[in-house]
Structure 1
Amino acid sequence: MKPIGPVLEAGRSTSPLVMDTQCPFCSVQCKMRITGEFDGKRMNYTVEGQPNAASEGRLCVKGMNAYQHALSSERILHPMRRLPDGTFERITWKEAYQEIARRFYEIQRGFGSDAVGVYGGGSLTNESAYLLGKFARVALRTKYIDYNGRFCMSAAASAGNKALGMDRGLTNPLSDIPLAKCIILAGTNIAECQPTLMPYFTRAKEQGAFIIAIDPRETATTQMADLHLQVKPGMDAALANGLLKVILDEGLTDPAFVEGRTRGFTELAAHLEAMDLGVIAGMTGVPAELIRRAASAYGRASTGMVFTARGVEQQTDGYMAVRNFLNLVLVTGKIGRPGCGYGAVTGQGNGQGGREHGQKADQLPGYRLIENAADRAYVAGVWGIDPSELPGKGVSAYEMMEKVHDREIRALFLMGSNPIVSNPNAVFVEEGLKKLDFLVVADMLMSETAKMADILLPASAYLENEGTLTNLEGRVLLREAAREVPGEVQHDWQILCGVASVLGRGRYFGFRSAEEIFDELRHASRGGAADYYGITYDRLRREGGVYWPCPSPDEANSGRLFEETFAHGDGLAELLPVDSRFPVETACSEYPLYLTTGRVLSHYLTGVQTRRSPSLAAREIETFAELHPRTARRFKIGEGALIVLETRRGTMTARTRLHTGIREDTVFVPMHWGDGQNVNRLTHPALDPVCRMPGFKVCAVRVEPLVTARADDL
């Protein structure tokens, strides 16, 4: 680790403490400098953005205050064992490792290798994500591994792979955004989720871009847009059909591009020909004239980009919805050139890299497939094992929770995730985790899930943990360690190597640094779709970031994909007809409203980190339920009232916020709180049949006052 200034001793420092690091939160991965100065009583910190190609030196409020959770007095600093009364006692690392080895051995001897599962996270570094996948398959020899990124990017990833032959968040660099003359933002609230990207879009507007936002509610992002399509929750695929129908009817396709670079157009055209725009307008809640206006703006623009995020993707037809927005991009030929492309706006800090190197149930490093014989043979060769030793494909994250509930998985090793809060149907998930014979959690702070652990392992925070992360545009970045670990904390990779050693598999995990792990990752990914072979730590330090694919140390690319060919064997992109369907669960007399979920500016994921930041927690101290004022009057609910929200799966309590910018049939609740404020106690467990994404964004709900509201409040 490079020198970072004086080490604090007894709360004092003789000169400023300087920490150069990278924000741990969203997929932009902004660079920053944290400076701490001791005023005689306490350390005072200032944070400033550092130049980088993605955020251009900007920071948002989360990044400005991220140091607070890393320096929190609530950090877990030593291994602990949970006692029968639910409290924890401090133990040594040796005791922790021995207990883990003993319990895993007993469970696997009695119930088979697959009785132990591994559950990861989309904020882990590439090195940790890679090693976690290797740990599951080589140290534990279990097929059951998946991660919370399944809930973030799986719909877009599957759609990109099928339509384009490759999944990388953006098909073009962020610098292309101001070149676009029309931009569609579908189900993405960039202003609150990736705020440091907003100047790209304001620059585009200044240069004449027409921006279309698709969202059931008004947000800071829709307020920037020239046109807001206020779609019913769950009807994004149908809305895309409406846009496509207008584009075909008005002759706004790019015939040369369609003929030369795609397949499947005849079937798609016939499918759209049979549709009625009025029916689509009725299904989606978007007037036909607005659909026509949006389609015409995008179709007639010389350049254009389409971005999707969780609003489109977290549906039980999320895969097909993204395929339909990709249809829109492809039939107009707006990809592979400046100012044109598609972008899946990654949510988690390393949601892109985390899915490329082995955390997903069906994948091996480099985006290889675990059921492909050649892929298995190649990765087994890198790992020094026989391909027959590699287990087969497991199941998705929520399906792992079902297997936990059914006692097929009896022990779980969990790293950097909080499934009790992040999974749908959270009451069911909590019931399942309570049934486990043994739960190991590696984390930096006490999450709702960590409280249930039998063994709790202290993991390093972003300020301490060196490694690479891949941002939303596919740019690999190096985050240097900025300080020593506190207490007895260990890095994720050290924990994995330590457990592997006591399991008798240490010869495969003899790493001494994150860089050594990355060097093996480079070789394991070589020749795969996500080829990192040409990327090294030295190169990242020199260049500040490198786009993948990068098959050679002497090679660089512009970040723009598909300029001449797509990644399928025939070089063509695939068009696919998509049906217009209603959600799995629709509003009815018993549950008359639609519930949708999302994020707010000051919090991240399940809030474990941001709720430990006093500055961020103070901005949003509790969850809320956003309702239209007319809807609130209908149910005799006032502004700021406590209400009970109930679905067929559970209940929660929230305080109301009334807003005229949300659809009258919709309730919005953010996802950042646990326990009685956990919105995922309500969400539906149905999964997308292709990518196994849960349908977080729509289910039927009813609301009622916790205490009857006074008439003068309404």
Structure 2
Amino acid sequence: GASRLDKTLCAAPTTAVALGMYGKMPGVAFEDYVDARCIVLWGGNPRVSHVHLVPFIKEARQRGAFVAVVDPVRTFPASEADLHLPVLPGADLPLALALIRYWAKWDALDLPFLARHATGVEPLLEQAEMWTLEVAGAATGVAPADIERLAREYAERSPAVIRCGWGPEPAILAMPALLGKFGVRGGGYTMSNSGAVRFDRDAVLGPIEWSTERLNQTQLARQLLSERSPRLRALFVYNCNPVATVPEQTLVLAGLRRDDLFTVVFDQVMTDTAMYADIVLPATTFLEHWDVRVGYGRYAVGLCRPVIEPRGEARSNIEVFGQLGRAMGFSDEAFGWTQEEAARRVLDAVQTPDGIALEPVDDGITWKPAFPDGSPIQFGTVFPLTPDRKVNLTPPVLGQAPYRWDPVPTGRYPLSLISPATAKTVNSTMGQYALDELYVEIHPDDALPRAITDGDRVRVFNDLGEVACSARVSDRIRSGVVLIPKGAWRASSGNGATATALCPADVNPVAGGACYNDARVEVQLM
């Protein structure tokens, strides 16, 4: 049978840790941020990827909330944030551990809360012991005084909420538990709120068992080029553009060029990946098919209905995989469902934690969980969905060396490369229209010794590849770090390579997730 794919490009380690620590407990609702008196935005940029959260942050600040941003890039102007901690990529753990050590020494830990609601506290506190403000400052590139200021503001203010991005360390998620920031509206943390609504697959499809191998999506390039037996002979790509998104882009392209690889791309547009396909199948857009979508910010379940007929020969996922299944001789009922039937069966199989009902927001289109008082209060009206209903601050998924920091060596490449979402490239969808010319953003202190000025043509390179683009010199990004936008297509680059050409396909020991920010590079004038 076909190999199974571990979808590790987005948030795999974070999801595994959130499940291990809190069981993906529903997070603080966006609208409750207005009640917070301290908001920490760590590893995410709501101004481009969660714009519907920004008005609530602004309102909270107008009410007196302290807003801190932890990011290598100054994503919020000084008029909208009180403190910016420009942490070096990969150094979030030392920063979080320094905060935890400070609170422990300051007797700020909420010991009664931890005794009632937490396990695994001691291993975390032991690992934090070495991280003084000065040691953490050297490792993170953040001024010790700013670390101390964040520690005090977060400890002294309540309600306090942390908005976590998709790649932060588990120590960040431990912070609200250590200080007992739960139990009040606007207090706790928010990651993805999609866990508040779950799909019971067995209720729709029945129990399914697989015996085929699992392949890590992050390491697609290595798998395509492997001489293993049996060798991969066919690739079906849908809902994805791996040439733009998978690490080690140069090797991905080499794998797709194999004469003995049969590639099918099923997409709405002619992506960079589709250019290497043997067959391209036209897919419907969201305007043309039925679907069920679960919000990962706002608490909502939506039944999406088509508003126009499919154009040309475009077909939906349900239609194409149903037809393929029947053509291959499978008789399972699901292969014969219509789009609407499949969507309504999925909707009927949606579950919410602790029996919380779904209530309609409007006429058969949108539903939301009917939390007591309208939205969840962590450790008040919702609790961890772990077996013992407690938070496990050192879950087994962290392995044998939890909270140990392993910095990425720089060697010949002194600059850390990040490739975050931007206002025009939240993902790679329609990337051919979003970015006419690829650029690298570089701090003046890094540009000056390299004789780089704004608008210069430069090469960004390491042992994996090279990207030709223009330079944008800006103090918005911290020194020692450069930025190439996420999701760019090859046509925007001077040599047909984008940020993923510089990203290693090494994987996180937790859940095998992609390590995009482990890329280390040099920048030179062309």
TM, length-normalised to structure 1? 0.66
- Give the 3-state SS of the residue equivalent to 1:412 in structure 2: strand
Q: Aligned residue for 1:38?
A: none
Q: Aligned residue for 2:477?
A: 662
- Give the 3-state SS of the residue equivalent to 1:184 in structure 2: strand
1:329 to 176, 187, 209: 176
% identical aligned pairs: 24
**1:201 maps onto 2:57 in alignment:** yes
Residues 525-563 of structure 1: CA deviation (Å, up to 9, x unaligned): 66xx87999669x87634733239x9xxxx997344543
2:189 to 321, 336, 342: 342
Q: Aligned residue for 2:398?
A: none
Q: Aligned residue for 2:330?
A: 505
- Report the residue type matching 2:13 in the other structure: A
Q: Aligned residue for 1:695?
A: 515
- Give the 3-state SS of the residue equivalent to 1:267 in structure 2: helix
Q: Aligned residue for 2:21?
A: 163
Q: Distance in 2 between matches of 1:530 and 1:427?
A: 44
- Give the 3-state SS of the residue equivalent to 2:142 in structure 1: coil
Deviation (angstroms), 1:492: 1.6
**1:611 maps onto 2:432 in alignment:** yes
- Give the 3-state SS of the residue equivalent to 2:484 in structure 1: strand
**1:566 maps onto 2:384 in alignment:** yes
Q: Distance in 1 between matches of 2:4 and 2:458?
A: 39
Cα 1:556/1:214, change in 2 over 3 Å = closer
- Which 4+ runs in 1 deviate beyond 6 A? 529-534
Q: Aligned residue for 2:403?
A: 579
- Give the 3-state SS of the residue equivalent to 1:342 in structure 2: strand
Deviation (angstroms), 1:335: 3.0
Cα 1:477/1:523, change in 2 over 3 Å = closer
Residues 11-45 of structure 1: CA deviation (Å, up to 9, x unaligned): xxxxxxxxxxxxxxxxxxxxxxxxxxxxxxxxxxx
Deviation (angstroms), 1:336: 4.7
Deviation (angstroms), 1:696: 0.9
CA contact (8 A) 1:643 1:704 kept: yes
**1:491 maps onto 2:316 in alignment:** yes
Aligned pairs (5 A) from 1:523-562: 541-542=363-364, 544-547=366-369, 558-562=375-379
Deviation (angstroms), 1:400: 4.3
- Report the residue type matching 2:269 in the other structure: L
CA contact (8 A) 2:291 2:305 kept: yes
1:591 to 413, 420, 443: 413
Aligned CA RMSD, in angstroms, stands at 2.9
Deviation (angstroms), 1:213: 0.3
Deviation (angstroms), 1:341: 2.3
CA contact (8 A) 1:458 1:490 kept: yes
CA contact (8 A) 2:300 2:367 kept: yes
CA contact (8 A) 1:189 1:221 kept: no
Q: Distance in 2 between matches of 1:657 and 1:290?
A: 27
Residues 620-679 of structure 1: CA deviation (Å, up to 9, x unaligned): 421211111221110011110010010110001111111123222111111222332411
Q: Aligned residue for 1:272?
A: 128
Cα 1:256/1:181, change in 2 over 3 Å = same
Residues 74-130 of structure 1: CA deviation (Å, up to 9, x unaligned): xxxxxxxxxxxxxxxxxxxxxxxxxxxxxxxxxxxxxxx2xxxxxxxxxxxxxxxxx
**1:214 maps onto 2:70 in alignment:** yes
Cα 1:159/1:291, change in 2 over 3 Å = same
**When the two structures are aligned, how many residues end up with a matched partner?**
509
Deviation (angstroms), 1:698: 3.3
- Give the 3-state SS of the residue equivalent to 2:514 in structure 1: coil
- Report the residue type matching 2:454 in the other structure: E
**1:649 maps onto 2:473 in alignment:** no
CA contact (8 A) 1:345 1:472 kept: yes
Aligned pairs (5 A) from 1:53-452: 113=1, 142-147=2-7, 150-165=8-23, 167=24, 171-220=27-76, 224-310=80-166, 313=167, 321=169, 323-344=170-191, 352=194, 379=202, 383=205, 389-391=209-211, 394-406=214-226, 408-435=231-258, 437-452=261-276
Cα 1:145/1:535, change in 2 over 3 Å = farther
Q: Distance in 1 between matches of 2:213 and 2:389?
A: 28
CA contact (8 A) 1:281 1:287 kept: yes
Cα 1:393/1:571, change in 2 over 3 Å = farther
- Report the residue type matching 1:468 in the other structure: V
Deviation (angstroms), 1:256: 2.0
Q: Distance in 2 between matches of 1:659 and 1:223?
A: 18
Unaligned runs of 5+ in 1: 1-112, 114-141, 347-351, 358-364, 367-378, 707-714
Deviation (angstroms), 1:265: 1.9
Q: Distance in 2 between matches of 1:476 and 1:451?
A: 35
Q: Distance in 2 between matches of 1:230 and 1:157?
A: 24
CA contact (8 A) 2:249 2:500 kept: yes
Q: Aligned residue for 1:633?
A: 448
Q: Distance in 2 between matches of 1:395 and 1:556?
A: 44
**1:686 maps onto 2:501 in alignment:** no
Deviation (angstroms), 1:303: 0.8
- Give the 3-state SS of the residue equivalent to 1:432 in structure 2: helix
Residues 308-349 of structure 1: CA deviation (Å, up to 9, x unaligned): 214xx1xxxx5xx1x111111211122353111222258xxx
Deviation (angstroms), 1:512: 4.2
